[in-house]
Amino acid sequence: MKENIVRVGERPAGFGLYLFDYKAEFSEFGAGRQFGVMADEVEAIVPEAVTVGSHGFRMVNYALLGITRH
- Tell whether 70 is covered by a domain: no
Is the pLDDT at 31 greater than 70? The verdict is: yes
pLDDT at 70: 63
For residue 69, name the pLDDT band (cuts at 50, 70, 90).
Answer: confident
What's the mean pLDDT in 4-30?
93
pLDDT at 61: 95
For residue 18, give its domain range: 2-65
Share of the chain above pLDDT 90, in %: 74
The enclosing H or E element of 42 equals: helix 39-45
Instruction: Quote the number of domains for the chain.
Output: 1
The structure's pTM equals: 0.85
- Tell whether 43 is covered by a domain: yes
Angle at 49 between CA 48 and CA 50, to 5 degrees: 95
Edge-to-edge strand ranges of the sheet holding 34-36: 2-10, 16-22, 34-36
Strands 2-10 vs 16-22: parallel, antiparallel or unpaired: antiparallel
